[in-house]
């Protein structure tokens, strides 16, 4: 069994990640919904992380698992990348929401007490809202192998589509579907396009920070945080994702054109290929 898993690590990674999450969503969020508490959906989000740990151990043993965890706290990446993740993404989101008709007229300045809770809200979303449990799998395990096999552009598109597909059972939850385009072909298509666009942005940052999963986690967390933030700042545009969707697509296209589709991928960069977690399938 171990030999079979080692021969197709990407395939089995996705099988494990999807199986864990889909089983939880279908059983505990659709068929027999858990009480509506803060961490109701968190156990299902562990699918990508669990799959990454299991497959890293199978492919590269204990050194592979250690490498995965080490890159989750790889913080020496340069201040500009922190500025992009923590400030640039929220500003992009705010500017794009402000462009939605009627949004500026509903602007409501937050009180100081509310502003002081933003860091707590951000950390909570990072820990239990998906970034911490998803990115070690998507970017930590899958992305390096996808790039090595298909290149940065095709590999990123594949990952974005798989990331979107991983969310599919949630469309049978009215609460989730209502804020993610609705359960329709157009809603699912737009969600997939956004997932691919976000993947392009995260791949670009990931490659330029020598495979830092931490930066991927922070960008993902900032995107989630910005959704809630703009809903509070511009009540009339709450859940209106038209502006952010366009902004993310445009940013992704700019990065693709500027990097000629390479997205900062180092190719045979020794510092990357030497890591056990980056070994060839």
CA atoms of 139 and 145, how far apart (whole Å): 10
Task: Determine the pLDDT at residue 14.
Answer: 98
List the structure tokens of 127. 């820990």
DSSP state for residue 104 in the 8-state scheme: G
Task: Determine the pLDDT at residue 267.
Answer: 66
Task: Determine the pLDDT at residue 25.
Answer: 97
pTM of the model: 0.93
Torsion of CA 63, 67, 70, 74, to 10 degrees: 150
Domain count, the chain: 1
Task: Determine the pLDDT at residue 52.
Answer: 98
CA atoms of 27 and 33, how far apart (whole Å): 7
CA atoms of 160 and 199, how far apart (whole Å): 5
C-alpha distances in Å from residue 33, one per residue of 36, 182, 199: 8, 19, 30
Tens of pLDDT, residue by residue over 27-50, are: 999 999 999 998 999 999 999 999
Task: Determine the pLDDT at residue 180.
Answer: 85
Q: Which long-range contacts (CB under 8 A, 24 or more apart) does 176-185 make?
A: 178/239, 179/239, 181/241
Query: At 8, is the secondary structure helix, strand, or coil?
Result: coil
DSSP for 119-145, please give it: HHHHHHHHHHSSHHHHHIIIIIIIHHH
Task: Determine the pLDDT at residue 245.
Answer: 95
Task: Determine the pLDDT at residue 181.
Answer: 81
What parts of the chain have a pLDDT lower than 50?
A: 268-281
Task: Determine the pLDDT at residue 106.
Answer: 93
CA atoms of 211 and 256, how far apart (whole Å): 18
Q: 12 is in which domain, residue-wise? A: 2-278
């Amino acid at each position: 069994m171990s030999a079979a898993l080692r021969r197709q690590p990407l395939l089995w990674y996705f099988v494990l990640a999807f199986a864990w999450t889909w089983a939880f969503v279908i059983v505990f969020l659709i068929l027999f919904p858990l009480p509506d508490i803060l961490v109701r959906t968190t156990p299902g989000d562990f699918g990508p992380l669990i799959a990454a740990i299991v497959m890293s151990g199978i492919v590269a043993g204990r050194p592979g698992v250690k490498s995965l965890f080490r890159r989750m706290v790889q913080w020496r990446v340069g201040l500009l990348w922190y500025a992009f993740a923590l400030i640039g993404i929220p500003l992009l989101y705010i500017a794009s929401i402000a462009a939605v008709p009627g949004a500026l007229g509903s602007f409501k300045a937050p009180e100081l007490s509310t502003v002081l809770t933003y860091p707590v809200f951000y950390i909570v979303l990072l820990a239990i809202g998906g970034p911490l449990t998803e990115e070690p799998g998507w970017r930590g395990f899958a992305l390096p192998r996808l790039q090595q096999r298909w290149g940065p552009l095709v590999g990123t598109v594949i990952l974005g589509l798989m990331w979107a597909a991983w969310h599919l059972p949630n469309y049978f939850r009215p609460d989730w579907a209502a804020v993610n385009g609705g359960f329709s072909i157009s809603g699912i298509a737009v969600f997939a396009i956004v997932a691919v666009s976000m993947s392009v942005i995260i791949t670009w940052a990931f490659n330029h920070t020598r495979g830092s999963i931490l930066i991927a986690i922070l960008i993902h967390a900032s995107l989630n945080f910005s959704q809630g933030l703009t809903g509070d700042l511009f009540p009339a545009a709450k859940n209106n994702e038209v502006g952010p969707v366009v902004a993310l697509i445009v940013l992704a296209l700019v990065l693709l054109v500027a990097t000629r589709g390479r997205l900062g991928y180092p190719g045979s960069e020794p510092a990357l290929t030497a890591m056990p977690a980056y070994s060839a399938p």
